[in-house]
Structure 1
Amino acid sequence: MNNKIAVVTIIALIIVSCDQEKNIEFSSESFTEKELSICTNSKCPEVTINYVEVFGDDGVSEKINKKIKNFIFSSLLMGEDTIPTARTIQEAATGFIEAYNADKTQFPDMAGEYFAEISVNEIYSSKGHLCFEMRQYLFTGGAHGYGTTSFLNIDPKTGDELNSNELFKNNKEFTAFAEKKFRAEQKIAKDQSINDNGFWFENDDFYLPESVGFTQDSLIFVYNQYDIASYADGPIELKIAMKEAKPFLSID
């Protein structure tokens, strides 16, 4: 009798466990300055935000959504502050617009209006790995705007960010492999300095950007403007086919 009870209990626990493993789902969301009351009766800088919101396991989705929102908040941050205090996208956008209004009041002849374009897209999804592409482009005065592209890699079971040591078996070996691909693409011979084509790699040593993007077919590395070259050179992208990168990866 006790054995039967034990078996029933185990089955019940398995069913409960399976029920607790909720699938992660994505919803496309958008926001513009037109949704703010501050812009109802006055012209505001354009603020366009397109992003994904994650649903499913509450604890996991909360972690992921917090990382996405923090990127948006940081992108709209103005002034000398480096840590955003906004709790909502509306608050962050309002802060950006108020900063513009203050600058416009102080410098009425300021040429050009501020604007912000921000996007967060899910570009890869599997049972063990999510990858988000995060872009931001802002104009806040001066000769031109400035934009960046970065990537966020997440363990969908925990909501935690996957670092390079968790993504790659051996960072040193993969970086050496990536350098060969970069040199071939940029037509830099093995015996040439990595900076012979006008790049700005510190200490003349090749290195990869801080984040890497994953798609079904390839790995994507983006050097943003000023990372290794001038603004005029634009972003520099290095793509490595997944079939070539697979031997170096720790994840499927």
Structure 2
Amino acid sequence: MMMLRDSMKIFNSLIYPLSIVLALLSACNNTPQNKLKSSKSPGLDFDTVTYTLKTITKDDPECDTSREKNCRIVNIKYHVFDNHPVLNDSIRTMLLAIYPFERTDPSVMPSLDKQTEEFMDKYEEFKKEPYSQGRKYGLISSTKVMEELGNLLTLQLDAYTYSGGAHGASFTHFFNYDIRNKKMIFIDDVINDNYQDCLVKVAERIFKKNEGLNPGQPLKPNAYFFENNRFSLANNYVFTPQGIMFLYNEYEIKPYADGKTELLVPYAEIKHMLKTETLIRQFLK
């Protein structure tokens, strides 16, 4: 069975080493509680969720904020949902994966504030290097609610990091969440086990069409980074009203210059593969 739960492996392989400018001041602020409005169908029984937006910011200590506009170095904004610890833990885990250094004790999950301080400390070390002149590091990340459709909540996390190299690295990760049952939703929660390989074949056909390739045309290693030149699905996906949208981040299957690659597999193509009891069936017509 195709294993698609381990999104952290993809994330950590895409975010390249970097450090961030040390700042004197830090802020972790909360916004007033917000309530999502569900795009529900008439008669559909659904739950609502409330959340708070939190922020973590850092400015360059050598930057005069009263005279310069580009002093902000770290800017993280994320949702914290009331009474949904599984979702909050998933978001926090992905945010922690943005930081470009290994934790001292991998078995202990630190706070975002602590990681930010260490992040900034490492930049102070970088500033002592002769090649650091004129280079500002940065870490920007935010989450946003894509849709709340009945009891299906989808979110998007975007991140950008720069560590003084030729260019920065950007990343997008999706979350699919069952509000009623308070659990994350994965591909194998939606697709019948005996159809996993069929899903890959359908997705490969669509991928090759999008890329202007013939169905039998091989995926050349100089153009794509698939392991053993065999197509595989991204571990990063979101359930939309139109279909399952897979996202390959920078460097995942193509060179940096090609950016990210989206692959939408319409439900019409895989309707027979879906499990009977799944929130995705609300999109079938």
Same fold? TM cut 0.5: yes
Q: Please name the residue that 1:147 is paired with.
A: 170
Q: 1-side partners of 2:197 and 2:236: how far apart?
A: 15
Q: 1-side partners of 2:232 and 2:136: how far apart?
A: 36
Bigger-Rg structure (1/2) = 1
Deviation, 1:206, is 0.9
Q: Deviations over 1:131-184 (max 9, x none)?
A: 222222101121111122222222323433223211222221111111111111
Would the alpha carbon gap of residues 83 and 167 (structure 1) be closer, same or farther in structure 2, given more than 3 Å must change?
farther
> In the alignment, residue 234 of structure 1 is paired with which amino acid?
G
* Residues 222 and 236 in structure 1, CA contact (< 8 A), matched pair in contact too: yes
Q: Please name the residue that 2:119 is paired with.
A: 96
Unaligned residue ranges in structure 2 (runs of 5+): 1-45, 64-70, 281-285
Q: Please name the residue that 1:54 is paired with.
A: 81
Q: Please name the residue that 2:239 is paired with.
A: 214
Q: Please name the residue that 1:110 is paired with.
A: 132
The two structures have a TM-score, normalised by structure 1, of 0.76
Q: Any residues of structure 2 matched to 1:1-80 within 5 Å, and which?
A: 23-34=48-59, 42-43=62-63, 46-55=73-82, 58=83, 61-78=84-101
* Residues 47 and 180 in structure 2, CA contact (< 8 A), matched pair in contact too: no
* Residues 47 and 179 in structure 2, CA contact (< 8 A), matched pair in contact too: no
Q: Which has the higher contact order (CA 8 A, sep 6+)?
A: 2
> In the alignment, residue 255 of structure 2 is paired with which amino acid?
S
* Residues 47 and 116 in structure 1, CA contact (< 8 A), matched pair in contact too: yes
Deviation, 1:245, is 4.5
Please report the RMSD computed on the Cα atoms of aligned residues, expressed in angstroms.
2.8
* Residues 155 and 161 in structure 1, CA contact (< 8 A), matched pair in contact too: yes
Would the alpha carbon gap of residues 184 and 140 (structure 1) be closer, same or farther in structure 2, given more than 3 Å must change?
same
* Residues 74 and 84 in structure 1, CA contact (< 8 A), matched pair in contact too: no
Structure 1 runs of 4+ aligned residues shifted over 6 Å read: none
Q: Please name the residue that 2:264 is paired with.
A: 239
Q: Deviations over 1:12-54 (max 9, x none)?
A: xxxxxxxxx96322344433215xxxx6x55476111122221
* Residues 74 and 83 in structure 1, CA contact (< 8 A), matched pair in contact too: no
Q: 2-side partners of 1:141 and 1:84: how far apart?
A: 30
1:188 and 2:210 aligned: no
Aligned residues: 222
Unaligned residue ranges in structure 1 (runs of 5+): 1-20
* Partner secondary structure for residue 135 of structure 1: strand
Identity of aligned residues (%): 23
Structure with greater helix share of residues: 1
1:203 and 2:203 aligned: no
Deviation, 1:128, is 4.1
* Partner secondary structure for residue 193 of structure 1: coil
* Residues 147 and 155 in structure 2, CA contact (< 8 A), matched pair in contact too: yes
Q: Please name the residue that 1:125 is paired with.
A: 148
Specify which of 254, 268, 277 is matched with residue 229 of structure 1.
254
Deviation, 1:122, is 2.2
* Residues 45 and 114 in structure 1, CA contact (< 8 A), matched pair in contact too: no
The two structures have a TM-score, normalised by structure 2, of 0.68
> In the alignment, residue 51 of structure 1 is paired with which amino acid?
Y
Would the alpha carbon gap of residues 179 and 89 (structure 1) be closer, same or farther in structure 2, given more than 3 Å must change?
same
